[in-house]
């Protein structure tokens, strides 16, 4: 197995950090910065509990 030293080690670690950041951005960072878009999506997809309950249970 090759030993990474110097600039190769820095490049390897940078690629790992970049891949993790690239993966987590749409999941964590974007919803925190653009809340209006995600609030509207949440309102659209909310379950209306009154419509799901049986008439006899109310």
For the chain, the domain total comes to 1
Q: What is the pLDDT of residues 14-48, one digit of tens each?
A: 999 999 999 999 899 888 888 888 888 888 777 76
In this structure, what token pair is assigned to residue 14? 């940078």
The answer to whether residue 58 scores a pLDDT higher than 60 is no
Whether 5 is covered by a domain: the verdict is no
| pLDDT recorded at residue 10 | 93
Q: Please list the alpha-helical segments (H only) found in the chain.
A: 7-24, 30-33, 35-45, 49-52
> Do the domain assignments include residue 4?
no
Two tokens, residue 45: 């997809």
Question: In the prediction, which pLDDT does 57 show?
Answer: 60
Higher pLDDT, 50 or 25: 25
- Residue 3 backbone dihedrals phi, psi, to 5 degrees: -100, 125
Task: Print the domain residue range for 40.
Answer: 10-47
Taken as a whole, the chain contains a residue count of 58
The whole model's pTM is what? 0.54
Pick the more confident residue, 52 or 9.
9
DSSP code of residue 26: I
Assigned domain for 38 exists: yes
């Amino acid at each position: 197995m090759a030993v990474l030293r110097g600039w190769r080690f820095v490049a390897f670690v940078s690629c790992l950090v970049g891949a993790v950041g690239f993966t987590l951005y749409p999941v964590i960072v974007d919803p925190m910065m653009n809340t209006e878009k995600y609030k509207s999506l949440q309102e659209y997809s909310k379950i209306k509990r009154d419509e799901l309950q049986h008439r006899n249970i109310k």
